[in-house]
Amino acid sequence: MSVRRVIQRLLFLVLVIWSASTITFFIPRISPKNPIRERFATLARTGGFSPGDLEAIIASYNEKFGLDKPLMQQYFDYIGGIARLDLGVSLNLYPKTVWDLILESLPWTIGLLLVTTAISFVLGNLLGAAAAWPRAPGWLRAIATPFVLLQGVPPVLLGIFLLFFIGFKLKLLPLGSAYSTGVVPDWSLSFMLDVLSHQILPALSLILGSVGGWVLSMRGMGVTIQGEDYVNFAEHKGLEGTTIFRDYYLRNAMLPQVTGLALAFGLVITNGIVVETLYGLPGLGQVLIAAIQSNDFLVIYGIVLFITIAVASLMVIVEFMYPLLDPRIRE
C-alpha cells in the first residue's frame, strides 16, 4: 500500500473525528435544559437552598465550566481540548474527569465485546462455509439453521429471554451485575470465576444475535466461490477436501467478511451498550446512560467521541490489513 494512500486514509480519519466532535457538541445543546441548573434544582428540593443562593451557585458553576460563554466560543474551546486529549470533567461527578470514567469502565466493555465479536465472527463464518460446502456432513449444515432464525431477534430481547428462563426460572446463572454482592475484587481465581459466571448471559445475548448474520453472508460467498476456476482446478488436481476447503474456498471467501466486520463495529458497540445496561455491567453503556439521564453532556461528548474514534480507527486498520489477507490487493 502506497504512502499516499495511507496519508489519505489518516486524513479521512481526522475528518471523521472532527465531524463526530461537531455533531456530539451541538446535539445536546438543542435541549433547553441546563445540566447544572437541573442538578442543583434537584439538590435544592431536598437540601433547602434559598433561591438567591441557588442562582449564585449556578452562576459560579456556569463560569467554571465555561457555560456562560457564547456558543461558538464553547465550541472552539471544546475542539481545542480534544486536540490536547482533554475531554473535560463530569458535571455530575465532579471532580472526576471524563477520562477517569472511560478508563474505569472500558475494561468491562472491551472484555465483553472483544470475546463475543471474535466468537461470533469465527463461529458464524465456519458454519456459513460449511453450510455451502457440498462435502460437509448434513448435521454440520443443520446446526447453522437455528442461528439464522435468531438473527432477526434484537440482542436486548434475547437478553431478556435468557434472564427470565436461565437466570430467574432455572437459576443456573446470575441475573446481572459484574460480580456477586459482597465479593472484594482481586486477582484470585475465585473472583475471576465469579466474574466469568456473570458474563455468560450477556455474552450469549450478543453471540446468539449476531452469528446468524455471519452464517448467511458467508454461505452466500461460499456458493459464489464454488464455481470459480481455481476451486475447480484444485478439485481436478485431486487435492484433499480439507485442503481445498481451507486454502481455496474459505480463504478467498473471507475478504468480504473482513470488510463486513469493519462495517459491523458500530452495531456491535451499540448492541453491547444496550446489553451492558440490561445486565447492570459497569461498562461504557452504564456510564453513558447515567450521563444522558443527568444531562451530563461533557461525559456524553467524551464517550460518544471515544466510541466514534475507536470504530473509525478499527475500520482504517482493517483496510490496511487487506494486502496481508490477499496479496493480489495493493490499493
Do residues 89 and 98 make contact, with C-beta atoms less than 8 angstroms apart?
yes
Q: Looking at residues 273-295, what average pLDDT do you find?
A: 83
For residue 105, pLDDT beyond 80: yes
- Give 202's Cβ-side CA count (13 Å radius): 33
**pLDDT of the residue at 167:** 81
**pLDDT of the residue at 283:** 85
For residue 64, pLDDT beyond 60: yes
> Where does residue 298 rank: exposed (0-12), middle (13-18), buried (19+ CB within 10 A)?
buried
Burial letters 216-232, b for 16+ CB under 10 A, else e: bbbbebbeebeeeeebe
**pLDDT of the residue at 264:** 79
Confidence of residue 126 (pLDDT cuts 50, 70, 90): confident
Q: Looking at residues 85-91, what average pLDDT do you find?
A: 79
Confidence of residue 330 (pLDDT cuts 50, 70, 90): low
**pLDDT of the residue at 279:** 85
**pLDDT of the residue at 60:** 74
**pLDDT of the residue at 201:** 87
**pLDDT of the residue at 125:** 86
- Give 179's Cβ-side CA count (13 Å radius): 14
Express each pLDDT in 199-211 by its tens digit. Answer: 888 888 888 888 8
Do residues 258 and 321 make contact, with C-beta atoms less than 8 angstroms apart?
yes
Confidence of residue 48 (pLDDT cuts 50, 70, 90): low
- Give 183's Cβ-side CA count (13 Å radius): 17
Do residues 222 and 136 make contact, with C-beta atoms less than 8 angstroms apart?
no
Confidence of residue 42 (pLDDT cuts 50, 70, 90): low
Confidence of residue 131 (pLDDT cuts 50, 70, 90): confident
Q: Determine what percent of the chain is predicted with pLDDT higher than 70.
A: 89
**pLDDT of the residue at 257:** 82
For residue 73, pLDDT beyond 80: yes
Beta bridge partners of 97: 89
Q: Looking at residues 56-61, what average pLDDT do you find?
A: 73
Domain boundaries, the chain: 104-283
Q: Phi and psi at residue 97, in whole multiples of 5°?
A: -85, 165
Pick the CATH number of 104-283 from 3.40.50.2300, 3.40.800.20, 1.10.3720.10, 1.20.1560.10: 1.10.3720.10
User: 319 or 166: which carries more pLDDT confidence?
Assistant: 166
Asked which of 49-63, 71-85, 254-268, 280-294 is least confident by mean pLDDT, the reply is: 49-63
**pLDDT of the residue at 157:** 85
For residue 153, pLDDT beyond 70: yes
Q: Determine what percent of the chain is predicted with pLDDT higher than 90.
A: 0
Least Cα distance to 25 among 61, 93, 79, 70 occurs for 79
What Rg, from alpha-carbon coordinates, does the chain have?
A: 25
CA distance 174 to 180: 8
**pLDDT of the residue at 47:** 62
Confidence of residue 161 (pLDDT cuts 50, 70, 90): confident
Express each pLDDT in 215-260 by its tens digit. Answer: 888 888 877 777 777 777 777 777 777 787 777 777 777 877 887 8
And the C-alpha cell for 331? 490499493
CA distance 67 to 28: 13
- Give 165's Cβ-side CA count (13 Å radius): 7
> Where does residue 36 rank: exposed (0-12), middle (13-18), buried (19+ CB within 10 A)?
buried
The three state secondary structure string of the chain is CCHHHHHHHHHHHHHHHHHHHHHHHHHHHCCCCCHHHHHHHHHHHHHCCCHHHHHHHHHHHHHHCCCCCCHHHHHHHHHHHHHCCCCCECCCCCCCEHHHHHHHHHHHHHHHHHHHHHHHHHHHHHHHHHHHCCCCCHHHHHHHHHHHHHHHCCHHHHHHHHHHHHHHHCCCCCCCCCCCCCCCCCCCHHHHHHHHHHHHHHHHHHHHHHHHHHHHHHHHHHHHHCCCHHHHHHHHCCCCHHHHHHHHHHHHHHHHHHHHHHHHHHHHHHHHHHHHHHHCCCCHHHHHHHHHHCCCHHHHHHHHHHHHHHHHHHHHHHHHHHHHHCCCCCC
**pLDDT of the residue at 45:** 66
Q: Looking at residues 72-85, what average pLDDT do you find?
A: 82
Q: Looking at residues 256-280, what average pLDDT do you find?
A: 81
> Which residues have CB under 8 Å from 196's CB, separation 6+?
none
Q: What mean pLDDT value characterizes the chain?
A: 79
Task: Tell me the range of 49-58, 145-154, 260-269, 300-309 where mean pLDDT is highest.
Answer: 300-309
